[in-house]
Amino acid sequence: MLRKVSRYDEHPSKFDAYHQVIGRSSSPTELPLVSELNGQSPSRIIIPLVILFIVVTQACASFAPEMFLGWLTHTLCFLVLGGIVYHLCPPDWTRRTEVNKDEVIFEYLDLTGYQVIRVPLAQYRGIIPIVHNGIDTSGLPYKEYGVALRHADPTKTIILSLSPLKQEQAVEHFSKLLKVKALHEKKFALELKSKTQRLQNQQNPKHSSI
């Protein structure tokens, strides 16, 4: 069965689907706005090694019995190989997002390489209001209000601010700061949800407004 293909500009309601550039202030006055997020993806090493182990071991057992040393021996060899690869090429990744007066820069660095995407602010539709319905670490629901810089491609839409209190002028503030349209129409607004528990107003490890 074919999956339903989402229309261009159809934004998902999942909070974690969006880039975030949320600083200490809900109303920054200077650019650029910068966010940097770091983490690890062990699966980028483990999955390829597991596939390679199965293919190589099965091929030896089927087509080259003289090279087949037994499943246990092959397993130990690949565990050692995996440990060496993991030590020499740790699966760390860094995602950096910058919003300046001219463009938005998306940078991504991991063991597969470095990628950078530059999107001119002129390609963005404008600043929109958002509502985030989350669950805190105690399992209690909470609601946050903020704004986002909306692009027709949802992967390029960026959350700019979040606050437990409504900021009536937030849309206009970011519209003037970035010199893009303020979109107050309900059809552009987003209501986002988080299924995983998180701290309210959780921010990325490094955020700044320089």
Instruction: List the chain domain ranges.
Output: 15-40+92-200, 43-88
User: Which residues have a Cβ under 8 Å from the Cβ of 186 and sit 6 or more positions away?
Assistant: none
Q: Closest by alpha carbon to 28, among 200, 175, 173?
A: 173
pLDDT score of 7 more than 70: no
Longest dimension (CA), the chain: 75
pLDDT score for 199: 65
Report the pLDDT value the prediction gives residue 8, as an integer from 0 to 100: 54
CB 89 within 8 A of CB 45: yes
Return the exposure string of 112-133: e unless at least 16 CB atoms fall within 10 Å of the residue's CB, then b. eeeeeeebebeebebbbbbebe
Which percentage of the chain shows pLDDT scores above 70? 84
Rounded Cα–Cα distance for residues 118 and 108 (Å): 12
| Chain-centroid distance, C-alpha 175 | 24
Question: Across residues 176-195, what is the average pLDDT?
Answer: 93
Handedness of CA 123, 125, 127, 130 (dihedral sign): negative
Residue with more model confidence, 56 or 187: 187
Residue 105's pLDDT is 98
Is 109 in contact with 94 (CB distance < 8 Å)?
yes
How does pLDDT run across 15-73, given as a tens digit for each residue?
A: 999 999 988 788 899 999 999 999 887 777 777 778 877 887 777 777 766 666 667 77
Closest to 147 in 3D by CA, of 3, 23, 46, 42: 23
pLDDT bracket for residue 143 (50, 70, 90): very high
